[in-house]
Amino acid sequence: MRFPILCVFLGALAACAAPQSAGNLPATGTPPDGGSSSSSSGAPSNGNDAGLPADGGAADADPTPPAADAGPALTTVRVHYPAGTHAVALRGSGGSLSWDKGVAATAGADDTWLLTLPALSAPIELKPLLDDATWSRGPNYKLAPGQVLDVYPHFTVKQGTYAVHWAQFTSKILPSTRGIWLYLPPTYLENTRARLPVLYMHDGQNLFDASAAFGGNEWKVDETMDAAAEDGSAREAIVVGIENTADRMNEYTMPPSGKGDLYVKMITDEIKPMVDAELRTLTTRDQTALCGSSLGGLISTYAGVYHSDVFGLVGAMSPSTWWNGTQILGDVAKVPQQAQRPLKVYVDSGDSGPSNDDVTNTAKLAQAYKTDGYAEGTTLHYVVQPGGQHSEVYWAERLPGGLAFLLGPGR
């Protein structure tokens, strides 16, 4: 396991601007990367169709002749970044932008840099630069005519950091003491204007560090998240790893025999408020994910049924669907009766090893979601890994795809 060395300080930007990686390329006549998608890093995009009338487009019976065509709708890029003594410029593939030389953005309040493109007639790709020299990291951003695009870039930090942040968290709801790990991604570390989604995960000691993980096999969560920050396969997110205790079996299983209801309430009523109070988070359910494996996948599924007002994104990897006579299938059947339902659900398993990773029962779980109205590829993603067994080794292999679906692409 590596310990990241960060190049964060803006005063060292000149040393960090060497064009050695795909996220930080030299100025040439071609874009810094070959692809992108429409949303920004650090906060959701704010689409604005400036071509529509204020009333939403309703017909007007007034026979007064229409005003002359005002021309193409204004297209705006707002770059949110604490640049200090540096300046922000943009390069891109069209309009007034090119990949050869940047156009300076105008500094505004609250570390916002503004650029308006009045004549954009087709979608383009773009990237911010510091001092028109240091490219922002990750894929290009995509901009449509008439859009207001909010961008929260990072330029120098290549890796996030992780640590046990709360070593002795004590719950009153579920009397117990445990450690809570935090992973902070590159944009969070560098860009103090950015707020990010949060991924809550169980078995926190197994996520980041092989020396602390069960059997010496960790999930490689930090490596997965760092790679996604560079290639844009998933949005950057804060990861909260909640350690298990000696009472794991009871904490991760549901009533009447288990304490899973109290465990979930501990997360929603104690841990999440603590995280949101201390960190720059996006707090709504569409920005809050819960994911785990085995019994952790079971309790994530349970939380998704009864607490989707908090957890809109649910990941169940090799869930213990078998538990208590497949009780969880009955819970999932109640999803349509709830006031809200999870926005996205990821379910997976292997098909090998002594238990065949409970593949038959987990297939029934995926089918239960489909019966509830979930659609494969949009609101549900179900994966069976050929040869996959019930262990951290295989969960680490499947994690990138699971997070790409739950969190969505990073641009």
Residue 97: CATH number of its domain:
2.60.40.10
Which of 122, 151, 180 terminates a domain? The answer is 151
Q: Does any domain span residue 382?
A: yes
Identify which has the larger pLDDT, 237 or 36.
237
One domain for residues 196 and 290: yes
Peptide bond into 256 cis (omega under 30): yes
Quick one: average pLDDT of 88-116? 97
Q: Does any domain span residue 30?
A: yes
One domain for residues 122 and 204: no
One domain for residues 103 and 225: no
The pLDDT, as a whole number, for residue 411 is: 86
One domain for residues 116 and 214: no
- Total domains in the fold of the chain: 2
- With cut-offs at 50, 70 and 90, classify the pLDDT of residue 119: confident
One domain for residues 196 and 118: no
Which of 90, 124, 151 terminates a domain? The answer is 151
Indicate the pTM of the whole model.
0.85
Domain range for 264: 161-407
Q: Does any domain span residue 132?
A: yes
Exposure string (b/e) for 20-58, b if CB count within 10 Å is 16 or more? eeebbbebeeebbbeebeebbbbbbbeeeeeeeeeeeee
One domain for residues 43 and 189: no
Residue 17 clears pLDDT 90, i.e. is over it:
no
Identify which has the larger pLDDT, 14 or 111.
111
Encoded tokens for 235: 């949005």
Q: Does any domain span residue 58?
A: no
One domain for residues 93 and 143: yes
One domain for residues 82 and 210: no
One domain for residues 130 and 221: no
Question: Lowest-confidence range among 37-51, 146-160, 319-333, 345-359?
Answer: 37-51
pLDDT, tens digit, for every residue of 135-169?
999 999 999 999 999 999 999 999 999 999 999 99
Q: Please tell me the total number of residues recorded for the chain in this structure.
A: 411
Residue 54 clears pLDDT 60, i.e. is over it:
no
pLDDT, tens digit, for every residue of 203-232?
999 999 999 999 999 999 999 999 999 999
Residue 59 clears pLDDT 90, i.e. is over it:
no
Identify the three-state secondary structure at position 291: strand
One domain for residues 90 and 172: no
Residue 45 clears pLDDT 80, i.e. is over it:
no
DSSP string covering 54-65, please?
A: TTSS------SP
Q: Does any domain span residue 63?
A: no
Summary mean pLDDT of the chain: 87
One domain for residues 185 and 136: no
One domain for residues 239 and 282: yes
The pLDDT, as a whole number, for residue 380 is: 98
